């Protein structure tokens, strides 16, 4: 898919997590299906757990913490994305007006990204409905990595890839359990995100150049990600601000997806 | 083992430092004492040749968009008879809002090797870029990994820029901008390589993102695709054909994609400004590259 919009948000004051998840899946998700505009695919990722910064930090240095969901809206083109965020002839879409009922909108974190799937050593060997969807595991880890400000963006992505390959080479459990790895690189179209910031009502959001999504069979295997994460953060390659990075364990929920069931 | 004390390595700045420096670069300050000692400093003080008045005046008015080539049809740049029968110099807004620029210059004294050397040599120091067109070129920077690639002797000059980003500070007749130009191989730019190798002498091009050096939260960062094609000229030297498609980017699948909001066009001033700048900077290049290549063209260091 050429481009997608990822918004990591926190639930609004006064809602429990259960109330929030019920609302965004069943009500907000329905609004999006009814008023689809140019959305090609829409996945909600409901956060089960997560960590912000690293163990060596004495206190949180992230500008935002406590994410409850990451929505991923896929589009065929940047123009389709804009046509959805600013639909012609509509002052505010229903989805736009609905956000304030469940999200703490001012601190949404938004990334417009392009995806690349990386090879894994051990793809899921056979379909098992007890483990999520065909070909994928049931648990996704979403790792938001902040570039160090002194590192050029092009070097950041190259160094991440080197560190990733080296981390996997020394993390046998991760190599065994990672079923799918998707790299979402921030696009420069994100530099012109005034419409998106208005849509999601963000105020001075932090910028993340990279989101890495890793699928595991279930929550039982998150130790595999921990092994990989420790190897990444110990890398001699200095490209990320790990104190301002975070990862989330999420449950993906399909809201809109026209792909055939076997894909 | 590389000698990291050489100016080509010492020029390296961090990303955030370079971004901060660009506002100063945009003032085009006098050369520093260290710059004055560089063997190419004298070119900064050249009298800059003015474009041919007839050629420059062609950029006064927009061309007919029906005569434009779209980036999806980039291989039409390999059909020379058709190019010669069409519009070779001009600019316009395409019906979809994109900006289009075409330019053609004959360089009687050029070779493809000179072109390849220049595009690899000039991004290593601010002054190398400034001497190209002192009135409007303010500075340039590479990332550390890109610098290492450019200075890698094992990589041919023609290939050094493939995948490399030039972070330039330049005035295209609309104020100083930071433009990040990601160069590509001809294949990654979309060319049919079997035809390319038969028709083209060499090529430099890719995708740029431009934003004013005085960027604010509301500033627009504008994409453009760019290709400089060079062909052996029957009368000797090279023919240079330039095309810009402003408002387009290469997406992750390496396909040209228009990314203007519906109903929005690239401002006329931006298209015409880049067209005029292109004529001016390559008029200077035409006169200057043979001289500097003869003096310094044996490698990347000097």
Local structure of residue A201 (DSSP, 8 states):
T
Q: Which residue has the tokens 């400034």?
A: B130
Question: What pLDDT is attached to residue A85?
Answer: 82
Local structure of residue A240 (DSSP, 8 states):
B
pTM: 0.95
Separation between Cα atoms, residue B82 and residue B138, nearest integer Å? 37
A221 to chain B, minimum CA–CA distance in Å?
31
ipTM of the complex: 0.96
Q: What is the pLDDT of residues B72-114, one digit of tens each?
A: 999 999 999 999 999 999 999 999 999 999 999 999 999 999 9
Please name which of B57, B126, B64, B131 lies closest in space to residue B92, comparing C-alpha atoms: B64
A201 is a domain residue: yes
**Smallest Cβ distance to B220: which of A114, A155, A192?**
A192
Backbone angles phi, psi at B286, to 5 degrees: -55, -40
Tell me which residue range forms the domain holding A214: 3-257
Q: Do A194 and B167 touch (CB under 8 A)?
A: no
Q: Say if residue A135 is exposed, middle or buried (CB neighbours under 10 Å; 0-12, 13-18, 19+).
A: middle
Please name which of A170, A173, A148, A174 lies closest in space to residue A159, comparing C-alpha atoms: A148
Q: Which residues of chain B have pLDDT under 70?
A: none
Question: What pLDDT is attached to residue A203?
Answer: 75
Separation between Cα atoms, residue B51 and residue B133, nearest integer Å? 12
Q: Which residues of chain A have pLDDT under 50?
A: 262-263
Local structure of residue B260 (DSSP, 8 states):
S
* Cα of B290 vs its chain's centroid, Å: 18
Instruction: Show residues of chain B in contact with A185, CB under 8 Å.
Output: 252
A220 is a domain residue: yes
Three-class DSSP category at A241: coil
- Which A residues, 182 through 201, put their C-beta within 8 Å of a C-beta on chain B? 185, 188-189, 191-192, 194-195
The percent helix, strand, coil of chain B (3-state, each to 5) is 40, 25, 40
The enclosing domain of A63 has a CATH number of 3.30.70.100
A190 to chain B, minimum CA–CA distance in Å?
9
Contact criterion met (CB below 8 Å) for A32 and A39: yes
What is Dmax (Cα atoms) for chain A?
Answer: 55
Nearest CA in chain A to B260: A79
Contact criterion met (CB below 8 Å) for A154 and B182: yes
Q: Do A151 and B14 touch (CB under 8 A)?
A: yes
In CATH terms, the superfamily for domain B7-27+37-296 is START domain (3.30.530.20)
Question: What pLDDT is attached to residue A134?
Answer: 75
Q: Do B262 and A82 touch (CB under 8 A)?
A: yes
Separation between Cα atoms, residue A180 and residue A87, nearest integer Å? 34
A230 close contact with B: CB closer than 8 A: no
Q: Which residue has the tokens 């006098």?
A: B30
Three-class DSSP category at A69: strand
Contact criterion met (CB below 8 Å) for A5 and A84: no
A263 is a domain residue: no
Separation between Cα atoms, residue A7 and residue A107, nearest integer Å? 10
Interface test with B, best of A188, A193, A195, A198 (most B CBs within 10 A): A188
Q: How close are the terminal C-alpha atoms of chain B, in Å?
A: 17
Separation in Å, CA A26 to CA A48, A84, A93, B30, B177: 18, 20, 18, 64, 47
Instruction: Show residues of chain B in contact with A154, CB under 8 Å.
Output: 143, 145-146, 165, 182
Question: What pLDDT is attached to residue A238?
Answer: 95
Q: Are strands A180-186 and B99-107 parallel, antiparallel or unpaired?
A: unpaired
B77-80 contacts at long range (C-beta below 8 A, 24 or more positions apart): B77/B191, B77/B227, B77/B229, B77/B241, B77/B243, B78/B191, B78/B192, B78/B195, B78/B196, B78/B199, B78/B200, B80/B199, B80/B231
B235, two tokens: 């009368």
* Cα of B28 vs its chain's centroid, Å: 19
Interface test with A, best of B252, B254, B256, B263 (most A CBs within 10 A): B252
A28 is a domain residue: yes
B102 to chain A, minimum CA–CA distance in Å?
25
Domain count, chain A: 1
Instruction: Show residues of chain A in contact with B220, CB under 8 Å.
Output: 192
Contact criterion met (CB below 8 Å) for B142 and B164: yes
- Which A residues, 134 through 153, put their C-beta within 8 Å of a C-beta on chain B? 149-153
Question: What pLDDT is attached to residue A65?
Answer: 82
Separation between Cα atoms, residue A99 and residue A91, nearest integer Å? 15
Separation between Cα atoms, residue A49 and residue A246, nearest integer Å? 11
Question: What pLDDT is attached to residue B188?
Answer: 97
Three-class DSSP category at A22: helix
Question: What pLDDT is attached to residue A47?
Answer: 98
Question: What pLDDT is attached to residue B261?
Answer: 85
B183, two tokens: 């160069």
Q: Quickly count helices (H) and strands (E) in chain B.
A: 11, 10
A262 is a domain residue: no
Instruction: Show residues of chain B in contact with A155, CB under 8 Å.
Output: 143-146
Question: What pLDDT is attached to residue A263?
Answer: 45
């Amino acid at each position: 898919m050429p481009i997608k919009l990822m918004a990591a948000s926190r639930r609004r004051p006064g809602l429990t997590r259960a109330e929030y998840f019920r609302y965004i899946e069943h009500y907000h998700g329905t609004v999006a299906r009814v008023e689809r505009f140019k959305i090609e695919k829409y996945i909600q990722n409901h956060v089960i757990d997560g960590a912000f910064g690293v163990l060596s930090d004495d206190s949180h240095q992230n500008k935002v913490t406590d994410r409850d969901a990451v929505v991923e809206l896929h589009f065929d083109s940047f123009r389709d994305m804009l046509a959805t965020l600013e639909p012609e002839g509509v002052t505010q879409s229903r989805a736009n007006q609905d956000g304030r009922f469940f999200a703490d909108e001012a601190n949404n974190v938004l990334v417009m990204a392009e995806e690349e799937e990386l090879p894994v050593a051990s793809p899921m060997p056979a379909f098992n409905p007890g483990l999520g969807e065909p070909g994928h595991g049931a648990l996704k880890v979403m790792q938001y990595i902040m570039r160090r400000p002194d590192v050029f963006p092009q070097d950041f992505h190259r160094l991440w890839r080197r560190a990733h390959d080296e981390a996997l080479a020394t993390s046998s459990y991760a190599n065994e359990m990672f079923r799918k790895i998707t790299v979402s690189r921030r696009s420069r179209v994100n530099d012109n995100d005034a419409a998106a910031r208005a849509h999601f009502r963000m105020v001075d959001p932090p910028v993340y150049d990279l989101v890495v999504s890793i699928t595991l069979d279930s929550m039982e295997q998150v130790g595999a990600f921990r092994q990989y994460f420790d190897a990444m953060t110990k890398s001699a390659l200095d490209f990320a601000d790990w104190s301002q990075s975070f990862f989330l364990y999420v449950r993906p929920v399909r809201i809109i997806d026209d792909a055939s069931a076997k894909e | 083992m590389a000698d990291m004390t050489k100016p080509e390595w010492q020029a390296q700045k961090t990303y955030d430092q370079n971004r901060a420096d660009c506002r100063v670069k945009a003032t085009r300050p006098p050369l520093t004492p260290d710059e004055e000692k560089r063997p190419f400093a004298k070119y900064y003080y050249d009298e800059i040749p003015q474009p041919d008045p007839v050629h420059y005046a062609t950029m006064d008015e927009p061309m007919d968009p029906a005569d434009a080539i779209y980036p999806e049809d980039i291989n039409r740049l390999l059909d020379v008879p058709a190019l010669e029968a069409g519009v070779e110099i001009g600019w316009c807004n395409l019906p979809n809002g994109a900006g289009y620029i075409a330019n053609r210059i004959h360089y009687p004294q050029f070779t493809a090797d000179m072109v390849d050397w220049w595009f690899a040599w000039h991004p290593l120091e601010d002054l190398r870029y400034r001497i190209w067109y002192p009135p409007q070129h303010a500075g340039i920077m590479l990332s550390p990994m890109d610098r290492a690639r450019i200075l890698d002797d094992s990589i041919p000059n023609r290939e050094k820029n493939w995948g490399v980003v030039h972070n330039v500070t330049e005035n295209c007749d609309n104020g100083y901008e930071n433009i990040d130009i990601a160069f590509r191989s001809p294949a990654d730019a979309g060319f049919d390589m079997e035809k390319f190798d038969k028709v083209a002498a060499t090529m430099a091009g890719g995708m740029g993102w431009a934003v004013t050096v005085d960027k604010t939260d509301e500033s627009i960062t504008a994409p453009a695709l760019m290709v400089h094609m060079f062909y052996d000229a029957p009368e000797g030297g090279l023919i240079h054909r330039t095309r810009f498609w402003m408002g387009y980017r290469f997406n992750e699948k390496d396909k040209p994609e228009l990314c203007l909001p519906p109903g929005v066009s690239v401002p006329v001033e931006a298209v015409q400004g880049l067209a005029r700048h292109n004529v001016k900077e390559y008029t200077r290049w035409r006169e200057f590259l043979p001289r500097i290549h003869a003096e310094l063209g044996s490698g990347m260091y000097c």
